[in-house]
């Protein structure tokens, strides 16, 4: 890990770098999106925890609360170095916004390209009492507009988290060893997948709760399995909608990560992923929803060219409803992207 001077309003930005190994990638040599998400979260956790402990006060650890939508602009390959830089861009009384950029570097040629940009929100939790959120030291802004823009982003994510929690009662029944012979290819049931994971010490922070990056990596694995089963081709993560961390997951819990296809366009597929936790170490607590998100994948040929995605076959009314909701998100994202391109062209 290296550090560089601050480029924004917050404390000195940090950079985390790592060379990509074969076990970080799929059979085509493309690095899993979950590996990059884990690196992004590690950089965010370091800078936000460091900032929250920069003044005299209660020692604390920054816990990931939310990741805004992030696009995977370009795949990272085996042998390349992923350089992840993070800086704090806004603080409220009890939360920290961290902006993260990922750049891949070919160390043989020196060629570099931006692969990811992400925004993460952290909440500092006391080391003495994990249920206590401590106050965040304020940062200095170069311009008053930066603070106002940050406050607007803070209010928007707060509202979106509330809306997500309200519609978060949906259930995906775990499918561990389904009889796919009885399922029609390209249906929701055919590709639906689950993974069960026992949370160990290496998955956790100093507070004994799961690192957000560990959870996101597992979610990406499940979403990737769903996408691969649907297409039967090489697939890569294209984007992840906002990931909301609703509740902490304690060491010793068993988590079930479940994914199902919700929508397909000609070139992409949306997969809904839930993380449910069974806190066996706390017998008085029922199973609960910990994290939820939508992942978008694309199908690639051996040459890395986009392939058409088989149309999702919906069978039940719920599947048809989720397909239409997914279509709405797809069209909304497409419209936003076109507006951004038009705006860039004007400048």
Residues with active-site annotation: 26, 220
Minimal CA–CA distance to 294: which of 337, 251, 264?
264
CA distance 154 to 168: 21
Return the residue matching tokens 């924004």.
8
Q: What are 3's strand-pairing partners? A: 14
Q: How far is CA 26 from CA 30, 127, 145, 185, in A?
A: 6, 38, 43, 23
Q: What's the CA dihedral at 47, 49, 51, 57 to 10 degrees?
A: -170
Helix (H) or strand (E) holding 270: strand 269-278
Minimal CA–CA distance to 89: which of 158, 159, 27, 6?
6
Return the residue matching tokens 């929701």.
188
């Amino acid at each position: 890990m290296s550090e560089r001077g601050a480029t924004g309003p917050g404390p000195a930005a940090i950079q985390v770098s790592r060379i990509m190994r074969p076990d970080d990638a799929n059979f085509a040599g493309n690095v899993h999106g979950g590996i990059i998400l884990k690196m992004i979260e590690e950089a965010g956790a370091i800078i936000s925890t460091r900032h929250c402990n920069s003044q005299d006060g209660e020692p604390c650890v920054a816990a990931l609360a939310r990741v805004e939508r992030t696009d995977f602009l370009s795949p990272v390959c085996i042998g390349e170095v992923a350089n992840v830089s993070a800086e704090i861009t806004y603080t409220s009384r009890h939360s920290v916004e961290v902006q993260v950029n990922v750049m891949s570097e070919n160390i043989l040629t020196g060629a570099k390209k931006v692969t990811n940009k992400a925004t993460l929100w952290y909440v500092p939790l006391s080391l003495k009492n994990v249920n206590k959120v401590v106050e965040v030291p304020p940062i200095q802004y170069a311009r008053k507009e930066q603070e106002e823009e940050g406050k607007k982003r803070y209010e928007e994510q707060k509202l979106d988290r509330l809306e997500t929690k309200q519609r978060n009662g949906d259930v995906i029944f775990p499918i561990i060893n389904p009889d796919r012979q009885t399922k029609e290819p390209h249906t929701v049931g055919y590709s639906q997948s689950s993974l069960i994971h026992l949370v160990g010490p290496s998955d956790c922070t100093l507070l004994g709760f799961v690192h957000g990056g560990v959870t996101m990596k597992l979610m990406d694995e499940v979403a990737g399995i769903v996408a691969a089963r649907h297409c039967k081709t090489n697939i890569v993560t294209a984007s992840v909608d906002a990931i909301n961390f609703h509740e902490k997951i304690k060491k010793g819990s068993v988590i079930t990560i479940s994914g199902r296809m919700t929508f397909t366009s000609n070139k992409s597929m949306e997969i809904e992923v839930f993380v449910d936790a069974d806190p066996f170490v706390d017998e008085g607590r029922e199973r609960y929803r910990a994290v939820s998100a939508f992942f978008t994948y694309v199908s690639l040929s051996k040459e890395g060219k986009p392939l058409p995605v088989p149309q999702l076959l919906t069978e039940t009314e719920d599947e048809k409803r989720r397909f239409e909701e997914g279509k709405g998100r797809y069209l909304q994202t497409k419209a936003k992207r076109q507006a951004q391109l038009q705006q860039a062209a004007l400048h």
